[in-house]
Structure 1
Amino acid sequence: MKKIMAVYDVDSRYADRFAEFANQREQVPFKVVAFTSLEKLREFSKREQIDLLLIGDGVTEKELEGIQAVQTVRLSETGVAKEGEAVVYKYQASDSLLREVMSWYQPQEIPTLMTVTGRRSQVIGVYSPVGRCGKSSFAFTLGQVLAREEKVLYITLEEFSGLSALTGTVYAGGLSDLLYYYTQREYSPVRLGSVTYNWGGLDYIPPVTYAEDKTGIRQEVFAGLIQKIASDGAYEKLILDVGIFCGGAEELLGICDVVYVPVKDDVVSTAKLEEWKEYLKRSGRSVLWEKLRFLQLPKPVLSMTRENYLEQLLWSDLGDFVRKLG
């Protein structure tokens, strides 16, 4: 059963719009209820436990008397907080507001929300021992295409993904934060939602903040986090863009249900692929080879611009190629 987030603001349309938006996001572990009056909110709090109350800063503490909530976050018109008060800036994009609200929420327990679907997300890996083969462009395009029909989460394990520049977004959180929560046994669907962004219907987690965040963590930790997200079942598919790890990426590829491997047909690329196959054999991981699907991607279009690169990918030859994948 989902926890309850109650929303009240003097502008009832604002509360209604936010509740409608949040309730459409499947990964949000709250049922969001908007209220048009404080009296209705007060009566509701007597019948149901409100786990998180999102309240406009025009409401005084006296007006809140008799309204019971586990935690309260203020909707501020200025963004200025009083000491010890949880505050989010009211006039920002709904997805940014939702992430910020969820980052403030302190669950009383590690919730087992979103497991009620009874399903596990399919994990699709994208990896290649061959450089400059279009791997990341393919992975993001695959995510965009699949997200038109399903709930999809894209996770990049590249140290320098270029996502911030390509989306024009300055990230307040990302994979580094999620790894911290996981290693501290504080991971929850709420934590996941607090670092999840959306691009054209595709949910994604920004990469690690610093390359050192990746090199200092074992593959098993990354794999454990991915498996945890998959077991929650909030998404039909997880797209895992696997970069280069010290010691290889086989641990991560092993948790994938299928792995797409972009390749090239030049001499050096072919030699690298043969060496990787031999390494898998020597290290006792030949079974991994059965999960691999090798792809020769269309050549990139040189005229594509940086400003609209991700949208152009969707309707490029690469986008057509992805849509034809069986």
Structure 2
Amino acid sequence: MHKQQLVAAVREADYLERLADYIRHSAFGERWQLTAFTNPQALRQYLKSGYPVDLLVAQTAFTPQIEEAGVSCITGLFVPIGHTSGEREIAQFQPLPTLLQSFETLYASGAPGGRGSIRGTKKSAVVTVCSAVSGIGKTTLALRLAQAMGARGNSAFYLNLEQWNASASWLGREGREDALSRLLYTLQSEPEQAAGHLNELKCRHAGLKIDYIPPCPNPEERESMTAELAELLIRAIRESGYYDLLVIDTDGRFDPVTIRAMQASDTLLWMTEPYASSRIKTEMAWAHIKARWGEGAAELARRTKWIAVHPGGTNDEPYAETRVRIDHVLPPAEEGGHGAEPSASPGYRAAIEHILERQLLRARGR
């Protein structure tokens, strides 16, 4: 895969070391190659040698050498926090995920002929986690799947389509609260700019090694989303070419948005429990799906893999009444209590790896 060439020039060598290390282990590093300089004359010689440069960001101390070299690439200026005023000025010391988003935004806004809408070459598999039972652990499963993908050195995107989106308990409150509404507006008004705005508005969770859209505090944003917009959003992420896996987290309403997400997925992971109430809710949900979407429900059923949430062991007998074939069994998810990012139990981690391996390979036809 061809990478865009990023040149960064600052006086602080330790800053460049931290930046290079972070890029090396992030999704940004899959698209960009960093070349760093602390010496102005070394930068001047590099630029005059004609090496390809797509984006150059430097401190003001390097300006004379850049002007002397006469480069024609997109350039940005590192400035102290609180001093940014121009479109090409970037605060040097800020959270690294935000800094990398600033690089992407600068490139997208300044590239001629739309060249800034950087696209990768990956073919993303799409998996939707769903259930008719609330509180069953859909968000935990979805995030752990994405995390496991990132831990393998691949790239994953987590998309939460729940009306009551509580993923901030895992992901925090970084990013713009209006990110989803801005991205949806772009999809409607300027769809050709969707890739660039996705780069600008997404966030990166360094611990989980996943990208995501920041949770929206206003549940009406999700309430007003249409099935068509949901499809455009999923397509924009999938066709960006950045991700090996897109994991969609849904609620149990099975409204048009949820159904459209299911239809856009390669695999559906349906979670169920060994209780009569879970079986009844599942049967009612599928009756609703069949009544609303007719023959399309059969195709959804064909893509569905059944995930058994087992409260104590791996015995399949409690699921005999579900009348479906259990594909995977999930043991208790967490150890050590609850928290912002609780540790997954060894058995749960093993089950996640098994699901990821089988369903990702299946989704890609291998």
**Does the alignment pair 1:260 with 2:269?**
yes
In the TM superposition, what are the counterparts of 1:186-265 in structure 2 within 5 Å?
186-188=193-195, 191-192=198-199, 194-205=201-212, 206-243=214-251, 244=253, 246-247=255-256, 249-265=258-274
Q: Tell me, yes or no, if the aligned pair for 2:334 and 2:342 is still in contact at 8 Å.
A: no
User: What is the alpha-carbon distance in structure 1 between the residues aligned to residue 3 and residue 149 of structure 2?
Assistant: 27
Q: Equivalent pairs: percent with the same residue?
A: 19
Q: How far apart are 1:291 and its partner, in Å?
A: 1.0
Taking a change above 3 Å as real, the CA distance of residues 4 and 177 of structure 1, as seen in their structure-2 partners, is: farther
User: What is the alpha-carbon distance in structure 1 between the residues aligned to residue 264 and residue 52 of structure 2?
Assistant: 38
Q: Tell me, yes or no, if the aligned pair for 1:27 and 1:114 is still in contact at 8 Å.
A: no
User: What is the alpha-carbon distance in structure 1 between the residues aligned to residue 134 and residue 216 of structure 2?
Assistant: 21
Map of 2:138 onto structure 1: 135
Q: Which structure 2 residue ranges, 5 or more long, are not aligned?
A: 312-331, 359-366
1:149-175 Cα distance to aligned partner (Å, 9 max, x none): 232222212233333333444323644
Aligned AA (2:138): K
Map of 2:329 onto structure 1: none
Taking a change above 3 Å as real, the CA distance of residues 317 and 177 of structure 1, as seen in their structure-2 partners, is: farther
User: What is the alpha-carbon distance in structure 1 between the residues aligned to residue 164 and residue 288 of structure 2?
Assistant: 26
User: What is the alpha-carbon distance in structure 2 between the residues aligned to residue 211 and residue 53 of structure 1?
Assistant: 40
**Which of residues 122, 125, 128 in structure 2 aligns to 1:122?**
125
Aligned AA (2:263): G
Map of 2:351 onto structure 1: 321
Q: Structure 2 length as normaliser, TM-score?
A: 0.75
- Aligned pairs, number: 320
Aligned AA (1:310): E
Aligned AA (1:160): W
Q: How far apart are 1:98 and its partner, in Å?
A: 1.2
Q: How far apart are 1:34 and its partner, in Å?
A: 1.4
Map of 2:82 onto structure 1: 79
User: What is the alpha-carbon distance in structure 1 between the residues aligned to residue 123 and residue 308 of structure 2?
Assistant: 29
User: What is the alpha-carbon distance in structure 2 between the residues aligned to residue 233 and residue 223 of structure 1?
Assistant: 16
Map of 2:5 onto structure 1: 4
**Does the alignment pair 1:25 with 2:26?**
yes
- The two structures, once aligned, show a CA RMSD in angstroms of 3.1
Aligned AA (2:131): S
Aligned with 1:188: secondary structure?
A: helix
In the TM superposition, what are the counterparts of 1:18-167 in structure 2 within 5 Å?
18-27=19-28, 29-46=31-48, 47-48=50-51, 50-57=53-60, 59=61, 61-62=63-64, 64-66=66-68, 67-81=70-84, 83-105=85-107, 106=109, 107-108=111-112, 109=114, 113-116=118-121, 119-149=122-152, 150-167=154-171
Taking a change above 3 Å as real, the CA distance of residues 323 and 277 of structure 1, as seen in their structure-2 partners, is: same
Map of 1:272 onto structure 2: 281
Q: Tell me, yes or no, if the aligned pair for 1:145 and 1:323 is still in contact at 8 Å.
A: yes
**Which of residues 182, 187, 202 in structure 2 aligns to 1:182?**
187
Taking a change above 3 Å as real, the CA distance of residues 60 and 287 of structure 1, as seen in their structure-2 partners, is: closer
Aligned with 2:76: secondary structure?
A: strand
Greater Cα offset, 234-243 or 262-271? 262-271
Map of 2:315 onto structure 1: none
Map of 2:342 onto structure 1: 311
Aligned AA (1:155): L
User: What is the alpha-carbon distance in structure 1 between the residues aligned to residue 16 and residue 43 of structure 2?
Assistant: 12
Q: Tell me, yes or no, if the aligned pair for 1:157 and 1:242 is still in contact at 8 Å.
A: yes
Q: Structure 1 length as normaliser, TM-score?
A: 0.83
User: What is the alpha-carbon distance in structure 1 between the residues aligned to residue 119 and residue 72 of structure 2?
Assistant: 22
User: What is the alpha-carbon distance in structure 1 between the residues aligned to residue 279 and residue 115 of structure 2?
Assistant: 47
Q: How far apart are 1:194 and its partner, in Å?
A: 4.8
Kindly report structure 1 stretches of 4+ aligned residues shifted beyond 6 Å: none
User: What is the alpha-carbon distance in structure 2 between the residues aligned to residue 153 and residue 302 of structure 1?
Assistant: 22
Greater Cα offset, 286-295 or 219-228? 219-228
Taking a change above 3 Å as real, the CA distance of residues 190 and 41 of structure 1, as seen in their structure-2 partners, is: farther
1:248-273 Cα distance to aligned partner (Å, 9 max, x none): 52111011111111123433332222
User: What is the alpha-carbon distance in structure 2 between the residues aligned to residue 60 and residue 42 of structure 1?
Assistant: 9
Greater Cα offset, 277-286 or 174-183? 174-183
